[in-house]
Amino acid sequence: MNKKPRPGGAPLRSYRYYELLMAGFVTVYVCSNLLGPGKAVQMQLPLAGTVTFGAAVLFFPLSYIFGDILTEVYGYAKARRVIWAGFGAMGFAAFMAWAVVQLPPAPGWPHQSAYQTAFGNAWRVVLASLVAYFCGEFANSFVLARMKLMTAGRHLWARTIGSTIVGEGIDSMLFYPLAFWNSGIIPNELVVQLMVSQWIAKTLVEVAFTPVTYKVVGFLKRAEREDWYDRNTDFSPFRL
């Protein structure tokens, strides 16, 4: 079903659902980074007992699921455009949050401190998030695209889970040290624990959503009449 590619590997055609998936990806990524990290959650889980984690761990992995679906159906080049869209959206959201926090509050407005706590993320954390996202998402998409060629399109579950293990691993290994190592906010030994636990938790979310991923991928391949194989793709992340 591949069409004649443009330079870089993007197929020469339009799609019914591609823009919707892009919007969903960007929405999940920006919201999970703005709304999730600020709240620590504690739950009682069977077998595991009391577990404490950041709220974003429940939603951030959905961006990797979107990335898997985009790469599997439309190919790496199309997924690359979406990853850059998410990067730009998060960069603007971080700048806007900083600018709004810096604006002087109106006299008598009592919520400046609460607003600053919620949206005044340190730039070290923001930059760590952007670096980790950039490297992790592109690694996830690259691994899935290469595995699709290696498996001749079989074993979708192995591609989605395998690529997520790599992508989420890189994301976690970059984000936590860059954001918190020797920061005085989190002890260094806890940084390592968080890095490993978040990696495992995010991968398990991917595993849990595998049946849904299968259904969505199957629907899109039929609806779009596309099942892209990245045989001649330029895998450089620095293209649009």
Asked whether residue 16 carries a pLDDT value surpassing 70, the answer given is: yes
Q: What is the pLDDT of residues 113-134, one digit of tens each?
A: 888 877 776 688 889 899 999 9
pLDDT of residue 120: 74
Q: Would the pLDDT of 5 be above 60?
A: no
Helical (H) or strand (E) element with 221: helix 210-224
pLDDT at 239: 86
Give per-residue pLDDT as tens, 146-196: 999 999 999 999 999 999 999 999 999 999 899 888 877 778 888 888 888
Report pLDDT digits (tens) over 50-91.
Answer: 776 667 778 888 999 999 999 999 999 999 999 999 999 999
Please give the CATH topology (third level) of the domain spanning 18-101+118-224: Arp2/3 complex 21 kDa subunit ARPC3 (1.10.1760)
Confidence of residue 2 (pLDDT cuts 50, 70, 90): low
Give the mean model confidence (pLDDT) for residues 16-32: 94
Q: Please state whether 106 falls in left (phi above 0), alpha (psi between -120 and 50) or beta.
A: beta
With 0-12 CB in 10 A as exposed, 13-18 as middle and 19+ as buried, what is 189?
A: exposed
Give the DSSP H/E element, type plus range, for residue 54: strand 49-54
Q: What is the per-residue pLDDT for 12?
A: 64
Q: Taking a C-beta distance cutoff of 8 angstroms, is the pair 32, 63 a contact?
A: yes
The confidence score (pLDDT) of residue 1 equals 54
**pLDDT tens-digit map of 29-57:** 998 887 766 666 777 878 777 776 667 77
Domain locations in the chain as residue ranges: 18-101+118-224
Hey, what are 117's tokens?
Answer: 């706590």
Please determine, for residue 10, whether its predicted confidence score (pLDDT) is greater than 60.
Answer: no
| Statement: residue 6 has pLDDT above 60 | no
pTM value is 0.88
CA distance readout (Å), 157 to 20, 31, 60, 69, 233: 23, 27, 19, 12, 23
Query: What's the Cα-to-Cα distance from 79 to each of 30, 114, 178, 187, rounded to whole Å?
Result: 17, 37, 26, 36
What is the spatial distance between Cα 16 and Cα 31, in angstroms, rounded to a whole number? 25
Tell me what the mean pLDDT of segment 209-220 comes to: 97
